[in-house]
């Protein structure tokens, strides 16, 4: 897609997100000649900075620093942007608390911004189903859906983008991607850390809101959706919403790590979960007999996000006459050490018929050792500049996902688990041991 002359305005530009993610991503795009001096990057916030003071907040190269400017608040922003040049589009990144999204959108329209403008907002898109409906209703009073980019940074990860290629560009996989061959789908996202300075936010959210309802649901949709008609944003979004229409959550169990209530910012009687596991099912012809298991938590023994495809066992014939032959698996590792692993049986050399399960291993770093794996925000910000919404979440998706979790948020017993140990599962499932990959 062609890229137009764009002014990029970061609202809340002196915050942590701009320093850690946004400015480094934009500088990388500049180094790759994907943005240049026809673009301008304007920071905005309540603090007062000169351009030089603002540039001094970041460790960036001299050429890129010249693109950085600062304007205090929104009053007079339209005139200020005009003073910087003639731009086809203006993109506003809301590096702001979600509670002010609607008010900020209203203020932008009051300042005279219209069809030439787009807004980028970060999760959480609401706190539950009613609040997500209200938020979308408020924002779309001022900006059309085609102007709104809802970021889920998981969609910017290369392995996530590769999931459609893996499924739909390889004829050996698509014919077996259904309930006839697949026994279960397992999605796992573990962190080895706790709340890490986010306790006040996290205690009002919990791991289901923070991870399951958004990031992991996007992974679920991509791994189970039907082939979209095209790769256009509307067709990909339709394929994902069709999954959400047929998805049901059958069970949800919650845990909290030992000592969580003693952390600063956590309520003494908090019932917030830091670990959860769910069983779901997509009720369509492709997946009608396949349970989908999801688990995510903090203070786990390892860090990683993976999708496991557990295939059905062979009948008790030939090499499996005892019924103990391990089933095939496909493991898609989202992070870290992105890659895909396929388990298969092979004959041990020098034996009569001794079989051993072996991995067929593909990793991004090995396959593309001379290529840089872009950070998620690089791809997402570039897509905004191009006007491509494919990797962004629609308002309909956010509302449908929240609605699925109605009745499972903040409800049910919260058990305690030890830090560094995965709780005993409540489901009768052999979880794939992702440590093996």
**Which string of DSSP letters, residue by residue, matches 32-90?**
TTSS-TT-EEEEEESS---HHHHHTTS---HHHHTTEEEEESSTTHHHHHHHH---SEE
| The pLDDT of residue 370 | 63
Alpha carbons within 13 angstroms on the beta-carbon side of residue 328 total 14
Taking only the tens of pLDDT, the chain with its 437 residues reads 445 689 999 999 988 899 999 999 999 999 999 998 889 999 999 888 899 999 999 999 999 999 999 999 999 999 999 999 889 899 999 999 999 999 999 999 999 999 999 999 998 899 999 999 999 999 999 999 999 999 998 998 888 988 999 999 999 999 999 999 999 999 999 999 999 888 888 999 999 999 999 999 999 999 999 999 999 999 999 999 999 999 999 999 999 999 999 999 999 999 999 999 999 999 999 999 999 999 999 999 999 999 999 999 887 777 777 777 888 999 999 988 888 999 988 888 888 778 888 888 888 778 776 667 778 899 999 999 999 999 999 999 999 999 999 999 999 999 999 999 999 999 999 899 888 88
**How many C-beta atoms lie closer than 10 Å to residue 221's C-beta?**
23
What number of other Cβ atoms are within 10 A of residue 258's Cβ? 14
pLDDT in tens, 41-71: 999 998 888 999 999 999 999 999 999 999 9
Rg of the chain in Å (alpha carbons)? 24
* The predicted structure's pLDDT at residue 1: 45
For the whole prediction, is pTM greater than 0.75? yes
71, 153, 215, 253: which one is catalytic? 215
Domain positions in the chain: 6-122, 155-374+392-436
Distance, in Å, from the CA atom of 221 to the CA atom of 39, rounded to the nearest integer, reads 35
Cα–Cα distance for residue pair 69/55, rounded to 1 Å: 8
- Output b/e per residue, 113-142; b: 16+ Cβ within 10 A: beeebbbbbbbbbbbbbeebbebbeebeeb
Question: What is the pLDDT, as a whole number, of residue 4?
Answer: 66
Is 146 designated active site?
no
Please tell me the predicted confidence (pLDDT) of residue 200: 86
Which structure tokens are listed for 21?
């993610």
* Residue-level pLDDT at 366: 80
Name the superfamily (CATH) of residues 6-122: NAD(P)-binding Rossmann-like Domain (3.40.50.720)
At residue 368, the pLDDT reads 76
How many Cβ atoms from other residues are within 10 Å of residue 374's Cβ? 17
CATH no. for 155-374+392-436: 3.30.360.10
């Amino acid at each position: 897609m062609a890229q137009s002359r764009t002014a990029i305005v970061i609202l809340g530009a002196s915050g942590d997100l701009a320093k850690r993610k946004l400015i480094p991503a934009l500088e990388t795009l500049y180094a790759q000649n994907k943005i240049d001096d026809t673009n301008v990057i304007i920071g905005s916030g309540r603090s007062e900075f000169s351009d030089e003071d603002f540039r001094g907040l970041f460790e960036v190269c001299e050429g890129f620093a010249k693109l950085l400017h600062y304007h205090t608040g929104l009053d007079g922003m339209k005139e200020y942007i005009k003073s910087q040049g003639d731009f086809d589009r203006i993109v506003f990144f809301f590096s702001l608390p979600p509670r002010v999204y609607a008010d900020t959108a209203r203020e932008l329209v009051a300042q005279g911004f219209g069809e030439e403008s787009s807004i980028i907002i970060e999760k959480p898109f609401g706190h539950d189903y009613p609040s997500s409906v209200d938020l979308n209703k408020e924002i779309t009073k001022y900006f059309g859906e085609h102007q709104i980019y809802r970021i889920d940074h998981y969609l910017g990860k290369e392995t996530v983008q590769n999931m459609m290629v893996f499924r739909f560009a390889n004829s050996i996989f698509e014919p077996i991607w259904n309930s006839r061959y697949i026994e279960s789908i397992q999605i796992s996202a573990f962190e080895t850390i706790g709340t890490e300075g986010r306790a006040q936010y996290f205690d009002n959210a919990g791991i289901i809101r923070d991870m399951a309802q958004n990031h992991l649901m996007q992974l679920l949709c991509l791994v189970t959706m039907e082939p979209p008609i095209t790769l256009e944003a509307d067709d990909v979004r339709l394929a994902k919403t069709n999954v959400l229409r047929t998805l049901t959550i059958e069970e949800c169990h919650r845990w909290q790590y030992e000592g969580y209530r003693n952390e600063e910012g956590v309520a003494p009687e908090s019932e917030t979960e830091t670990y959860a596991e769910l069983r779901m099912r997509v009720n369509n012809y492709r997946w009608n007999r396949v349970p989908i298991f999801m688990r995510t938590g903090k203070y786990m023994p390892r860090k990683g996000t993976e999708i496991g495809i557990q295939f059905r066992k062979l009948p008790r014939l030939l090499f499996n006459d005892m019924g103990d032959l391990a089933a095939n698996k496909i493991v898609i590792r989202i992070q870290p050490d992105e890659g895909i692993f396929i388990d298969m049986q092979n004959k041990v050399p020098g034996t009569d018929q001794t079989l051993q399960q072996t991995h067929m291993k593909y990793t991004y770093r090995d396959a593309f050792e001379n290529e840089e794996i872009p950070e998620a925000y690089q791809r997402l910000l570039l897509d905004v500049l191009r006007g491509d919404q494919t990797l962004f979440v629609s308002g309909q998706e956010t509302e449908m996902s929240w609605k699925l979790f109605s009745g499972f948020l903040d409800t049910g017993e919260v058990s305690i688990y030890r830090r560094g140990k995965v709780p005993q599962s409540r489901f009768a499932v052999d979880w794939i041991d992702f440590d093996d990959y």
